[in-house]
């Protein structure tokens, strides 16, 4: 498994991300961490080094097990602010001229951009939105919660914040 994290404040967040990841993420699996930087030379070639690729914000901390249940052809996490609402309230791009446009009445969920992943080759091909590339696994908001938001009763375990 390969995880790539991207964030400009990498040095500040890296310690907590890696230390908590070592305790909770895919324990028993081989996990490689590659960190995006502003220097293209620092980014290693990743083809054929992994079966799965997960993109995560590096300012995240793992609190509980993030295991094999998260692995799928394409996994996406429901956004904590919108998982209890209907598609009419999702903050989709509604301007038809935009390449990110999603028409009214379309879209199943609103996903967070901070944690998503899947088969390595599918991640390379993923160039459009989850609207047209439906995840084969939808993870609950427990897989990414904000430290600033109160945890509702229906969220029993916070895995990453």
Q: Are the C-beta atoms of 102 and 93 separated by less than 8 Å?
A: yes
- Residue spans per domain, the chain: 2-143
79 assigned binding-site residue: yes
Q: Look at the domain 2-143 and name its fold.
A: Spore Coat Polysaccharide Biosynthesis Protein SpsA; Chain A (3.90.550)
- What six digits make up the tokens of 34? 């590659």
- Any binding-site annotation on 63? no
Distance CA(7)–CA(36), nearest Å, equals 7
Judged by DSSP in three states, 101 sits in strand
| 125 vs 4: which has the higher pLDDT | 125
Per-residue pLDDT reduced to its tens digit, 8-52: 555 567 778 888 888 998 999 888 877 665 555 555 557 567 788
This prediction has a pTM of 0.70
Alpha carbon distance 96, 90 (integer Å) = 16
């Amino acid at each position: 498994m390969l995880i790539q994290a991207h964030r400009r404040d990498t040095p500040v967040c890296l310690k907590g991300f890696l230390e908590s990841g070592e305790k909770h993420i895919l324990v028993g699996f081989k996990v490689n961490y590659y960190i995006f930087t502003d220097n293209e030379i620092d980014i290693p070639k990743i083809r054929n080094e992994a079966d799965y690729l997960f993109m995560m914000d590096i300012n995240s901390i793992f609190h509980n097990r993030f295991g094999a249940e998260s692995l799928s052809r394409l996994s996406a996490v429901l956004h904590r602010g919108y998982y209890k609402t209907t598609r009419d309230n999702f903050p989709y791009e509604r301007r038809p001229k935009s390449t990110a446009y999603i028409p009214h009445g379309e879209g199943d969920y609103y996903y967070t951009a901070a944690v998503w992943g899947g088969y390595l080759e599918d991640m390379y091909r993923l160039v459009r939105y989850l609207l047209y590339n439906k995840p084969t696994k939808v993870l609950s908001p427990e897989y990414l919660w904000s430290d600033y938001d109160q945890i509702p009763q229906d969220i029993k375990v916070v895995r990453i914040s």
